[in-house]
């Protein structure tokens, strides 16, 4: 049994030594990242506008609600439209009576023409009066359809899916055609950066940036930084600032207008870099193990290409092994 345990321990030690990888600490060129502030904004801000003027009779949403495309947001009522429909209905009734009279006159004129009592000119005049009466009746009916369509357009619908940001009106408010009833943020969110113009030559579409924690949370751990990609760099510099849009997965739970720390590349520099799997943490402190078995406390920086930057604790030429 003693020999078996010794053999098992020896086999375990050999396996551990075989699985431990080695790496030599060297300097390499990395991106020199600066911390800036990014603002969460929607890709598109949608406006739900009133199509007719009138009084807001009902509101179906409030700030923060989520809506789908086509949902009813509010109803605008114009009492004059109902009165106009009634007036047109009366005119249509009068015009129908006039049309019936013109049709009866035409039938009578045709009979008298066959007996030779009236002339052809009088028959043509009766036919023309009937044609004018029918066209006038048709025009009045179209006018009534226009008013009825305007009445249905009092419903203010959501132009797209998103979250309601502001509702600048209340029930009973008088609005004009085209006035904003609610503003909404589309479901897609981006980070919008504003950088000093001296960084304009370093920023381009496709660059990778690092996103820190939200709000006033404690200093972020480099291992928890998220990554984003620059999708658009605006060609116009606004008040000495370069504006860029960054796509990041999972920004849907952010507040619109919320700010977060972002690390962008503003050049290159030399730094000590080792792979992430060589670093282990214990009691909140980062360690690496040298080839001779010594544990060294290190101060880590930001993630870079090929691993994590080492700010202090190692020197060029040191050999580290995986824990």
Each residue of 197-222: pLDDT tens digit? 887 777 788 888 888 766 544 454 55
1 within some domain:
no
Instruction: Evaluate if residue 9 carries a pLDDT over 70.
Output: no
- What token pair was written down for 114? 């066959």
**pLDDT confidence bin for 169, thresholds 50/70/90:** very high
**CA–CA separation, 277 and 288 (whole Å):** 10
2 within some domain:
no
Q: What distances in angstroms separate CA 217 from CA 141, 158, 213, 220, one per listed residue?
A: 66, 36, 6, 8
Domain count, the chain: 3
- Identify the domain boundary among 142, 168, 185: 185
Question: Is the Cβ–Cβ distance between 188 and 248 less than 8 Å?
Answer: no
Same domain (yes/no): 237, 262: yes
9 within some domain:
no
Question: Per-residue pLDDT tens for 180-191?
Answer: 999 988 877 888
5 within some domain:
no
16 within some domain:
no
Q: How many residues does the chain have?
A: 323
Give exposure, 95-119, as e/b (b: 16+ Cβ within 10 Å): beebbeebeebbeebeeebeeeebe
- Structural domain containing residue 158: 47-77+154-185
Same domain (yes/no): 139, 39: no
Same domain (yes/no): 173, 195: no
pLDDT of residue 11: 47
Same domain (yes/no): 295, 241: yes
Same domain (yes/no): 119, 140: yes
Same domain (yes/no): 193, 279: yes
Same domain (yes/no): 204, 270: yes
* Best CA proximity match to 313, nearest among 284, 283, 263, 279: 279
Is the model's pTM score more than 0.85?
Answer: no
Give me the CATH number covering residue 167: 2.40.50.100
**CA–CA separation, 52 and 178 (whole Å):** 7
Same domain (yes/no): 65, 172: yes
Question: Is the Cβ–Cβ distance between 187 and 162 less than 8 Å?
Answer: yes
Same domain (yes/no): 299, 235: yes
Mean pLDDT to the nearest integer, 94-113: 88
Same domain (yes/no): 29, 146: no
15 within some domain:
no
Coil, helix or strand for 219? Answer: coil
């Amino acid at each position: 049994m003693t020999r078996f345990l010794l053999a098992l321990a020896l086999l375990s030690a050999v396996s551990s030594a075989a699985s431990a990888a080695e790496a030599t600490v060297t300097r390499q060129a990395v991106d020199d990242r600066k911390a800036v502030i990014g603002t969460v904004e929607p890709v598109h801000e949608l406006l739900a506008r009133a199509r007719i003027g009138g009084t807001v009779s009902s509101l179906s949403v409030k700030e923060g609600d989520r809506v789908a495309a086509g949902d009813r947001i509010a109803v605008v009522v114009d009492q004059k439209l109902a009165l106009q429909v009634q007036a047109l209905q009366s005119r249509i009734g009068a015009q129908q009576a006039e049309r019936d009279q013109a049709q009866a006159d035409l039938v009578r004129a045709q009979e008298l023409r066959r007996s030779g009592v009236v002339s052809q000119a009088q028959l043509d005049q009766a036919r023309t009066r009937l044609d004018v009466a029918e066209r006038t009746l048709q025009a009045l009916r179209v006018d009534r359809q226009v008013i009825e369509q305007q009445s249905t357009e009092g419903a203010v619908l959501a132009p797209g899916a998103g979250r309601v940001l502001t509702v600048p009106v209340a029930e009973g408010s008088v609005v004009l055609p085209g006035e904003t009833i609610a503003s909404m943020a589309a479901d897609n969110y981006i980070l919008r950066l504003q950088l000093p113009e001296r960084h304009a030559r370093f920023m381009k579409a496709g660059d990778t940036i690092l996103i820190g924690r939200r709000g006033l949370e404690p200093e972020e751990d480099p291992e928890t930084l998220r990554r984003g990609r620059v999708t658009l760099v605006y060609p116009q510099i606004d008040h000495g600032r370069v504006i860029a849009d960054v796509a990041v997965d999972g920004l849907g739970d952010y507040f619109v207008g919320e700010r977060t720390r972002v690390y962008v590349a503003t050049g290159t520099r030399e730094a000590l870099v080792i792979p992430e799997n060589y670093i282990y943490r214990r009691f909140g402190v980062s360690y690496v193990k040298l080839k001779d078995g010594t544990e060294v406390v290190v101060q880590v920086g930001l993630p870079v290409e090929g691993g994590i930057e080492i700010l202090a604790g190692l020197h060029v030429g040191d050999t580290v092994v995986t824990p």
